Amino acid sequence: MELPGASPDVDAVIAWVDGGDPAHRRKLHDFLHGAAPGEPGSPAAADPTRFSDCGEIDYCVASLLRFAPWLRTIYIVTDAQTPALIERLKGTPFEDRVRVVDHKVIFSGYEQFLPTFSSLSIEAMLWRIPGLAERFIYLNDDFQIIRPVAVEDFFRDGGVVLRGKWRATRLRRLGQRIKAALPAWLRFGKKADPASNHSAQQLTAAMVGFADRYFQVPHCPHPMRRSKLEAFLDAHPRELAANLSFRLRAPEQFLATALADHLEISMGTAIIDNRLGTLRLKPATQQESSLRRQMAKADSDANIAFACIQSLDQAGDEVRALVFEWLDRRVGKLEKLPAQ
């Protein structure tokens, strides 16, 4: 139920990059002083999979248009790029509902921090999109909505609906120390990512005054309010500038979605509701049988409303075809969406 006088307008924002674009590759190559992304010696934050595009954004946009038709405008934030779907939408009822916004627009006055290859830097500036609604939903381009959702699943009773759980900061730090002390064979040869999503959420919570715990949000669309981010970041210009100074994702950066979440919690305007969940697939590392089981569960479970398909570029052709076949059935192709 909306409060009297509340705006019915809600927008969606998607951050997108095509790492295969020669111009983008050249910018990253120049920033790395000639080092090839993904090669030994190049930073992990520049790994090509972070910038790859397999066409997932088509399904992201199609899912929003199909299952959240109440959205006003879908903004795609890019760096001097335009996804092919924009051309395909021309002449359709959806043409004016999907718009591209360049990094230079949201970084106006902060051009010294461009080009940037850090999603955390970009996300910290999304609230500066001209004309952005007070309430908006932020998604990565590998997210999809897979069944009908309502405004109230994200915003209701004057507040913001959050999904997740509280975690103790000290316990997580203890777990990190234990993992770091284990021999490599017990860690399967992997080191903890210091710039992980969980670490960024923990750091960001402390900025808002949550020193002993943080609200951990899983991979899902993030409802946010523009004015809350604007007020906090206008009041903390040094923190914003420090965040933008990192051109690649770094452990010192805050996470804008976590900032929005913890601001709402601190003001008593957060509504924690975990009834809707996310199907999270990792096709590059999962067995095909596991993928099929998870997709079948998502088809039958009405409480799984979102999907996140990570690093699809690293999956084999057959597995990738399997995932796209499921997305075609679950979401549908962009050009076949019925007029609304």
DSSP structure string for 320-340: HHHHHHHHHHHT--GGGPPP-
Count of CA atoms in the C-beta half-sphere (13 A) of 209: 6
Looking at the domain assignment, is residue 235 inside a domain?
yes
Residue with tokens 């939408």: 89
CA distance 93 to 254: 38
Looking at residue 45, the DSSP 8-state letter turns out to be: G
Closest of 279, 284, 289 to residue 313, by C-alpha: 284
pLDDT at position 176 is 54
121-141 average pLDDT score:
97
- Can you tell me whether residue 225 is helix, strand or coil? strand
309-319 average pLDDT score:
91
Which alpha helices (DSSP H) does 107-215 contain, by range?
119-123, 169-181, 197-207
Looking at the domain assignment, is residue 264 inside a domain?
yes
CA distance 68 to 29: 38
130-148 average pLDDT score:
97
- Can you tell me whether residue 29 is helix, strand or coil? helix
Looking at the domain assignment, is residue 340 inside a domain?
no
Looking at the domain assignment, is residue 210 inside a domain?
no
At residue 169 the predicted structure's pLDDT band, cuts being 50, 70 and 90, is confident
What stretch of H or E contains 262? helix 256-266
Look at 217 and 40; give whichever has higher pLDDT. 217
At residue 55 the predicted structure's pLDDT band, cuts being 50, 70 and 90, is confident
- What CATH number is attached to the domain comprising 113? 3.90.550
Looking at the domain assignment, is residue 265 inside a domain?
yes
Looking at the domain assignment, is residue 164 inside a domain?
no
pLDDT at position 5 is 37
pLDDT at position 159 is 97
- Can you tell me whether residue 244 is helix, strand or coil? helix
Domain span at residue 258? 10-158+218-334
Residue with tokens 């910290």: 124
Looking at the domain assignment, is residue 209 inside a domain?
no
CA distance 144 to 62: 8
Evaluate the CA torsion angle 26, 28, 33, 34 in order and state its sign: negative
Q: How many domains does the chain have?
A: 1
Reply yes or no on whether the pLDDT at 100 is more than 50: yes
Looking at the domain assignment, is residue 197 inside a domain?
no
CA distance 285 to 170: 30
Give residues with Cβ within 8 angstroms of 96, minimum separation 6.
none
Look at 320 and 5; give whichever has higher pLDDT. 320
